[in-house]
Structure 1
């Protein structure tokens, strides 16, 4: 028995899951109620000892009116262990918040196995399934195996994201999922230098600096399009700088995969000020996906040079109207070369059919310094990623429920299978 306990304890020591409402990792309301009941039950038990009535008499943590100090200590110890473990998720130590993305909280995470820091994005599975824009995969081809649940489609797209491998795309390291909770934990490589630019700003880039960042973003976006993925939310805050000063595209939360030459889109996604005219027209007509990313990249380049978006309004309908109807205007200051303005103008043509294509952007004189510094060819820049059934099966690591984990570890510590949180429970087995 003792050997079995040691083996189990060894396995459990490698699996730690955290959930704390005060640190940004939130349990969904229907799951979090269990932990709240635990805390309320402990309070109720103390009230019981002091002669006060408790409204939580049906909670399993509530015992008889004559609860002993020893049982209360056991409950307190259980909850203290719960609090202690709540700062860890498997091998990751969860630290401070890094920000709030469009699809969830991002926290700094330290991996105690490889001694490196990562960015952990915490998402709601329910929200992902509700968002039609989350990498919707086309129906299985003839003879293909049907997905058993909607979440499997999300997993298939996660498998694709994990296999993306490009110097200008943020690397997804692993994904953790507790089937009993609503949260999905996505672990990305950490970009310590942060966003390329915080818009609006008066600190604009020189053309050389803007060109270097733009070239990186262009190669990354070409790679995504080659994988038949439309990003749909290209903007400065989704371009992060690595330790070598290069840009990587992040936040694929509203991306979509497509089949054929291009994606046909009917709904808008992403950030309003970076929306293309065809995305805000209010029409039910379908439009192509690649030109959306070209437009957003053009707005991003405009931000690099002028520190703000060309079309602005506090009111969404007025903003949509300006995007569709207002001409593109370049401020007198700062001074920007006519070649750069020419590229921006071609990327922000309102008719998507006349808008410049990615292949044309790559060879534009401003991008290539008049041909003296050509970009890598598509053949050398892109390789096609394929996803197998095995990739889908292994793309997400399943983790146990936190309350069960702490309970079992508490039992192992006591070398007893008696629940330390229950009052007047008899020991079933002791070694």
Structure 2
């Protein structure tokens, strides 16, 4: 695959070749120049800790993943990933080959090439091939996820509009770069102190060639999954359209503080997503323009669902054209792609500390 190199305006992701882990006298773990502090997030395969870099007097979010747990998910217990060789392949239904650990390396390769103010930045990667953890240092987005759902204190319509403009620009950039996010939701939208939204978590993202990605599998968060992904005996369906659907669910969460379709039973949830219309009969009143946009984003049939370029110029988002968003040309850089070599070489191997001492 031919790879086009984008000109990045930010510093490239650092790839350390030296790893030192010690316990400090004050009880913190020191990882190279980072002081690992409190846990600020947790997932199936690791944790996220607040990390302080004394060299630049900056806080980062350090994502710590377990290779063993990632391999175990795929059923591979003896996967040898020294020198960043991918573990034994697992065929996924949309055609991409790779086990969960390889997906992590693919996510790293993607993030290293993205440069946009509404996409969280990967700052540094540390990976010792003979140790379990992978350390990923991300920019620390101070105010965390934009909204915890459900909530009794949703965002105002105007604040929702301002935040959603950032979401639209971030997703337009990703789609231009031929990436489908596949898990857009409030908890994957981080809010900075300056009030800007940054999209994070590319763990289930997919790349495509051509104009769109034709999906055949279902990933992401159940309440945000598009109806076409739930149809029995379905064929392939548009990746871009599923991102637009999830953006519509997210916008509904912004203004109403809850998802439009909810059921404790997963099959009940699927049925509601497939047949029910979103309700606007809530205590919170919203404008007709916003109702129109939500209705069009949450159209059941992808063929009738509004497209992202039409969302971008919708009267609600632009205040009837008085506040237009920047053009695609201004918003998007040169196209970047991720080759097999990019995935293989996305992380420089980090030698063991004993090896470094002996040199």
Question: Does 2:279 correspond to 1:329?
Answer: yes
Q: Is the 8 A contact 1:133 1:269 kept in 2?
A: no
Corresponding residue for residue 136 of structure 2: 186
Structure 1 residues 249-295: Cα deviation after superposition (integer angstroms, max 9, x where no partner): 01111111111111121221111111111122243522111111101
Q: Residue 217 of structure 1 aligns to a residue in which SS? A: helix
Which has the higher relative contact order, 1 or 2, with Cα contacts under 8 A spaced 6 or more apart? Answer: 2
Corresponding residue for residue 215 of structure 1: 165
Q: Residue 399 of structure 1 aligns to a residue in which SS? A: coil
Q: CA deviation at 1:188?
A: 0.5
Question: What is the count of residue pairs matched by the alignment?
Answer: 326
- Structural RMSD (CA): 3.2
Q: Is the 8 A contact 2:107 2:202 kept in 1?
A: no
Q: CA deviation at 1:399?
A: 2.4
Q: 1:104 aligns with which of 31, 46, 52?
A: 46
Separation in 1 of the partners of 2:339 and 2:259? 41
Q: Is the 8 A contact 2:214 2:236 kept in 1?
A: yes
Separation in 2 of the partners of 1:268 and 1:386? 23
Question: Does 2:309 correspond to 1:359?
Answer: yes
Corresponding residue for residue 21 of structure 2: 17
Q: CA deviation at 1:215?
A: 0.3
Question: Does 2:298 correspond to 1:348?
Answer: yes
Q: 1:395 aligns with which of 315, 329, 346?
A: 346
Corresponding residue for residue 63 of structure 2: 121
Separation in 2 of the partners of 1:356 and 1:373? 20
Q: 2:233 aligns with which of 262, 283, 297?
A: 283
Indicate how the Cα distance of structure 1 residues 125 and 283 shifts in structure 2: closer, same or farther if over 3 A, else same. farther
Corresponding residue for residue 369 of structure 1: 319
Corresponding residue for residue 246 of structure 1: 196
Corresponding residue for residue 62 of structure 1: none
Separation in 2 of the partners of 1:297 and 1:304? 10
Separation in 2 of the partners of 1:401 and 1:281? 50
Q: Residue 313 of structure 1 aligns to a residue in which SS? A: coil
Indicate how the Cα distance of structure 1 residues 98 and 133 shifts in structure 2: closer, same or farther if over 3 A, else same. farther
Q: CA deviation at 1:353?
A: 1.5
Separation in 2 of the partners of 1:330 and 1:393? 48
Corresponding residue for residue 225 of structure 1: 175
Separation in 1 of the partners of 2:91 and 2:268? 24
Q: Residue 116 of structure 2 aligns to a residue in which SS? A: coil
Separation in 2 of the partners of 1:239 and 1:385? 23
Within a 5 Å distance, the mapping from 1:54-133 to structure 2 comes to 87-101=29-43, 104-125=46-67
Where do 5+ consecutive residues of structure 1 fail to align? Answer: 1-12, 19-80, 140-146, 413-431
Separation in 1 of the partners of 2:95 and 2:198? 24
Rg comparison, structure with higher value:
1
The structure carrying a bigger helix percent of its residues is 1
Indicate how the Cα distance of structure 1 residues 86 and 117 shifts in structure 2: closer, same or farther if over 3 A, else same. closer
Separation in 2 of the partners of 1:299 and 1:155? 29
Corresponding residue for residue 314 of structure 1: 264
Corresponding residue for residue 116 of structure 2: 166
Q: CA deviation at 1:195?
A: 0.9
TM value normalised by structure 2 = 0.81
Q: Is the 8 A contact 2:50 2:62 kept in 1?
A: yes
Structure 1 residues 96-131: Cα deviation after superposition (integer angstroms, max 9, x where no partner): 100114653111111233221110112233555657
Separation in 2 of the partners of 1:357 and 1:325? 21
Q: Is the 8 A contact 1:133 1:254 kept in 2?
A: no
Q: CA deviation at 1:391?
A: 5.8
Q: Residue 270 of structure 2 aligns to a residue in which SS? A: helix
Structure 1 residues 328-360: Cα deviation after superposition (integer angstroms, max 9, x where no partner): 211231110011010000000011121110000
Separation in 2 of the partners of 1:102 and 1:150? 12
Question: Does 2:145 correspond to 1:195?
Answer: yes
Separation in 1 of the partners of 2:100 and 2:167? 32
TM value normalised by structure 1 = 0.68
Where do 5+ consecutive residues of structure 2 fail to align? Answer: 1-16, 75-89
Greater mean alpha carbon deviation, residues 125-134 or residues 164-173:
125-134
